[in-house]
Amino acid sequence: MSAWISPSLTTDALSDGAGTYNYRYETTFDLTGLNPASARLAGRWSTDNGGVDIFINGISTGQANTAQFVAWTPFQITSGFVAGTNRIAFVVNNGGPGAVPGSDPTGLRVEIWGSALLDCSPGSSSPRISIARQSGNVIISWHQPGFLLQTAINVTGPWLDLTRGASVNGRDYAVVLSASGSRRFFRLRLDCE
């Protein structure tokens, strides 16, 4: 599902019919805990007027949208990703060749999906665990995919696997446990199985 976005509420923006006015739409996504070399994005875009290029972390992918707003143009990005925060930008030109200078409707519509494998390299760092008590529960949370929550009654173990945790956005994880019972210790284990 997607919707058109534009630099103005009326969708009108400056144009001159000579290719002077480009509009850049950007968003970021986080690959923390994932292997950037394995990342892949695919999708489709529609533009008004022409789609000039798609950039990943400031690097051109050389993908234009010549169908403009009459059809979707598919795209794929398979390189240029970095560890941590990544930026994708879509550049749209306003005003078709020979159009009257002034203002003209413009916008962008994108549908995108992607994947990346966990970073299971030696030395991958574990995220910090946050522990909070709420009502009769203990909430354990962390910010990074690929980890399994473990518990033990003694800090030296033995450690038992509890769960992978639930996430609504793919990067923030939480486990809710009953606060009853004896004391427990918690840690995260990299889960690349």
* Each residue's pLDDT expressed in tens, for the chain with a length of 193 residues: 799 999 999 888 888 878 789 999 999 999 988 899 999 999 999 999 899 999 999 999 999 998 888 999 999 999 999 999 999 999 999 987 777 778 888 999 999 999 998 887 766 677 889 999 988 898 999 988 888 889 999 999 899 988 777 776 777 888 888 888 788 899 988 887 6
Provide the residue range defining the domain that includes 134: 130-190
Q: In Å, what is the CA distance from 188 to each residue of 29, 72, 148?
A: 23, 43, 6
Which residues are CB-contacts of 59 (< 8 A; sequence separation ≥ 6)?
80
Q: pTM for the complete prediction?
A: 0.74
pLDDT by residue (tens digit) across 85-95? 999 999 999 98
Measuring CA to CA, which residue among 130, 98, 136 is closest to residue 17?
A: 98
pLDDT by residue (tens digit) across 121-135? 766 677 889 999 988
Which residues are CB-contacts of 8 (< 8 A; sequence separation ≥ 6)?
none
Among residues 115, 141, 168, the one where a domain terminates is 115
What percent of the chain has pLDDT above 90? 49
Structural domain contains residue 122: no
Among residues 84, 115, 146, the one where a domain terminates is 115
Residue 107 shares a structural domain with residue 144: no
| Residues 139, 157: Cα–Cα separation, whole Å | 21
Going by the DSSP 8-state scheme, the letter that residue 83 receives in this structure is S
Structural domain count of the chain: 2
Residue 41 shares a structural domain with residue 91: yes
| Residues 97, 93: Cα–Cα separation, whole Å | 10
Residue 153 shares a structural domain with residue 86: no
Structural domain contains residue 125: no
Residue 87 shares a structural domain with residue 160: no
Residue 142 shares a structural domain with residue 106: no
